Amino acid sequence: MRLEDTFYQRDCLLVAPDLVGKLLVRTLPDGTQITLRIAETEAYRGEEDTACHAHKGRTKRTQILYGKAGQIYVYLCYGIHWLLNVVTGEEDVPQGVLIRACVDAKGPGRLTKALQVDGHLNDTSIFTSRELWIEDDGKRYDIVPDTRVGIGYASQEDQMRLWRFKMGAELAEGQEITK
DNA sequence: TTAGTGATATCC
DNA sequence: GATATCACTAAA
């Protein structure tokens, strides 16, 4: 079932690992529906996080991160690649989760290329959009934390945070996630 | 390893 | 108005 607003209204450090293993559903303009399981996410958390776009304050580009949880934030990186994020947490607190990879689509740029995601989805709601949303099919996976990548400009302290979450082995019914 | 690409932010 | 920067990828 489609994830609800309460799922995204939590801290990005809770949402990011929870999104791993969920299903990303994309409906193309021609009606084709693609479903990919999310394999890797990263949390970007507030103005204190020097790796977060919003750490220098609110700008035209980052104002979406200050908005409501569940807004889709798509931005162009290196002039070529569209990266897909979802806003999380409370309003006026800039944080979000980057969807970094799905099963069979490794790399955020490849992911959005495969799903034909671009700027027109920026600042749309993941609850009401008919083009893109996330579902939970009940499966649970082990979560493997790791350091974030591609943030060489961030502070040493922030680079060391284990705010990247990768999909591990599938868990049996009732089995708890081990830390 | 290196080049390419273009929106954004920052500097004149 | 101009330019430096960048959460990447593909080709070699």
Those residues with Cβ within 8 angstroms of residue A101's Cβ, 6 or more apart along the chain or in another chain: A38, A39, A40, A107, A108, A111
Q: Give the other-Cβ count within 10 Å of A135's Cβ.
A: 13
Is the CB of A56 within 7 Å of strand B? yes
Q: Give the other-Cβ count within 10 Å of A176's Cβ.
A: 7
CA to C1' distance (Å), from A73 to C7: 13
CA to C1' distance (Å), from A65 to C11: 35
Is the CB of A169 within 7 Å of strand B? no
Those residues with Cβ within 8 angstroms of residue A65's Cβ, 6 or more apart along the chain or in another chain: A44, A52, A53, A54, A73, A87, A94, A95, A96
3-state secondary structure A138-158: CCCEEEEEECCCCCCCCCHHH
Give the model's pLDDT for residue A104. Answer: 84
CA to C1' distance (Å), from A30 to B5: 28
Q: Which nucleotide is nearest to A58 (CA to C1')?
A: B9
pTM attached to this predicted model: 0.93
Mean pLDDT in consecutive groups of 10 residues from the start of chain A, 179 residues: 95 96 94 95 94 90 94 94 96 95 90 94 95 95 93 90 95 70
